[in-house]
Amino acid sequence: MTLDSLNDLLARADAWRLGDSDPSAAAELAALIASRSEAELRERFAGPLEFGTAGLRGVIGAGESRMNRAVVRRATAGLARYLLEHVPNATSRGVVVGRDGRRLSPELAEDTAGVLAAHGIPALVFPDVVPTPVTAFATLHLDAAAAVMVTASHNPPEYNGYKVYWGNGAQIIPPHDTGIAAEIARVGPARDVPILSPARARANSLWRDIDESVGRAYITAILAEQRHPRDGARDFPIVYTAMHGVGGRWARDSLAAAGFARVHLVAEQFEPDGAFPTVRFPNPEEPGALDLSLALAEKTRAEIILANDPDADRLAVVARRKDGTMVALSGNEVGVLLGHYCLTQTEPRPERPSVMTTIVSSPQLGVIARDLGALYDETLTGFKWIGNRAIEREQKDGATFLCGYEEALGYTVGKVARDKDGVGSALVVADMVAWCRARGVTVHEYLEEIQRAHGLFVAMQKNFTFPGAVGAATIAKILDGFRAAPPARIGELAVTTVKDYKTGQGLPDPSMPRSNVIAYELEGGSRVTLRPSGTEPKIKYYFDLRETLVAGESLAVARARADMRLDALAASFLALAAERGQPS
C-alpha cells in the first residue's frame, strides 16, 4: 500500500472513530491508528458490514467491517426509518427484540431497543436470553411489525449477528432486505443516531418487557405439533445438549411437558456461555462437538441424542440402531423422516398438505410428496425462502404447511415459527421415536421403510475455497464455463434437465427469485448442483444420487452400491469442473 493510500485508510478509520458511539470501540481504533496497523485496519475497513442474509453477521470488533455497537445502532436506525415508511402502524405494533448468550449480545440488544424507542417504535424486549425460534414465534404472537434477534447462530465465539424478521414472522427477503440496506446507507455516524436509555424508554412506554406468557404459549404451540402425544412408549432415555447455547431450559421443559421423563442433560454444555469452553466451533455438525453427548449416551444407554446449536434454531440427531450402535442422521435424513411422518401421521389429513425444502437438499422429499399426493416446493438456499414460500402457498393455494427443512440441520414443523426451530423439531423427533418404539422399530428402521417405498437417496457435498479477488474470479470462471458448455452427461448418467437459477433456464416457476446456482437433473432422479457460498470464498458442489433397492436386498448392500456410484458421480463431475477452470 502506498503512503497516500495508507493515509487515506487512517483518515477513514479516524472518521469512524470520531463518529463511534462506543468509547471502548473508539479507544480500540485509536490504538490501531496510532500504531499504524495497516493490515488490521484494512480488514476492519474493507467496506461496510453487508446487510445480507436477513441481517448482519461478523467478527466482533471496532470498525465498519466488524460487528459492534456502532454498526448495530446505524442498522437499527435504518430499520426504524424503513418501518415508519412502509408499515403505517409500526408505532403501535412495535418490534420484538431477542438475544442469545454471546459476548456483546446484551449491549447490542439494548442499543437496538433504545434506537427503536427513539424513533417512536415500541421495543418489545425479552428480558433474558431466548432461542431464535421463540423470537420468531413472538413476532406473530404479539402481532409485531418486525423482530430483531441478536445472534450469530453456530459461528465461532468471536462472532455476533443481527437477524431481522418481518411482521409475517419470517426472515426478511426482497424488497425489504434491500430497502432496509438502502436506509442504513443513508444513516450518518453512530454518535448522531438518536437513542433512548432503557429507563427513559420505559418511562415513555417505548420499552416493554415480554412476560413469561409468551414463552408458555410457544411451549403449548410446539406440544400441539406432536402426532402421537398420548403414545405410551415414552419411557426411554434421551440425551440432550444445548451446546452452551440458549435452548437448554426450553428443550428440557417441553420434553418434560410431553411426558419424556428420562432426559439426560449434558451438564457441561447446558448453561449459556458465549466462550463455548468445550467446543471450538459450536456447530453440532463439526467433528468432536458431540463427544460429551455420545459419552453420556453410552453411559445412560440413550435411544437418541438431540443437540441444538447455540441459538437453538438447528438440531442434530443421533439414534441407536437395532445392533446397539449410535449413528448420526444427516440433515437430509432427519428432514425426510419428519416430512414423511407429518404427511402420513397428521390426523385429520389436510386437503392440501404442503412440504418443502431447498434446491441443495435431497430431492427425496419431493418424491415422497408426489407419491403421497402433497404439494412440494424447492426454494433457494436459506430458511427465509422456506418461511416466506410457506406463507405464500397458504395464502394463494389454501395449502396447509406441515414441514420444511434444509440439509444444514434446519427444520420446522407446522406454523409455530416461520423459521427453522431446533426446539420444536427436537420435540417432534422425540414424538416420532416414541411412535416408532410403539411399532417395535428403531428410527433407522423407519427410515429404511421410507427408502424401500420411495427410493434410497444418498448425498455428498464438496467445497473448494478460493480466497481473494483471484479466487472470486476463479469461481466465476467455473460457473461461466458450465453455462457456456453444459455437459450432456455426468459419468454414467445422462443430464435430463439443466436448471439455471441465475438466468431462469429450466425452472418450473419463472417468477422464482434469481441466484447464481446451476443444477443438473440426471436420469433416474439423481442431481448435481453447484453454487458459490454466500458468506465464504467457496464454491460448493452438491451430489444427490438415487438408488433402487432390489426386492429382498439388505439396505446395507444397496447403500454400499449407492455410495460407490455417488463417489463415481462426484469424480466424474470434478473432472468436468477441471475442464472449465477448477484448479487441481
**Long-range CB contacts (within 8 A, 24+) of 322-325:** 322/442, 322/444, 322/445
Q: Are 315 and 424 in contact (CB under 8 A)?
A: no
Task: Copy the grid coordinates of residue 489.
Answer: 452427461
Distances (CA, A) of 142 to 87, 124, 129, 539: 16, 9, 18, 40
Task: Copy the grid coordinates of residue 294.
Answer: 455420545
Residue-by-residue DSSP string for 317-345: EEEE-TTS-EEEEPHHHHHHHHHHHHHHH
User: H or E segment at 532?
Assistant: strand 527-532
- Given the residues 153, 254, 293, 361, the one annotated as active site: 153
Distances (CA, A) of 325 to 144, 299, 301, 322, 426: 47, 13, 10, 8, 21
Q: Are 160 and 148 in contact (CB under 8 A)?
A: no
**Cα–Cα distance, 474 to 383 (Å, whole number):** 28
C-alpha closest to that of 311 among 406, 243, 246: 246
Given the C-alpha cell 389454501, which residue does it identify? 398
Omega cis (within 30) before 133: no
- 92 included as an active-site residue: no
Q: Which sequence positions are flagged as catalytic?
A: 153
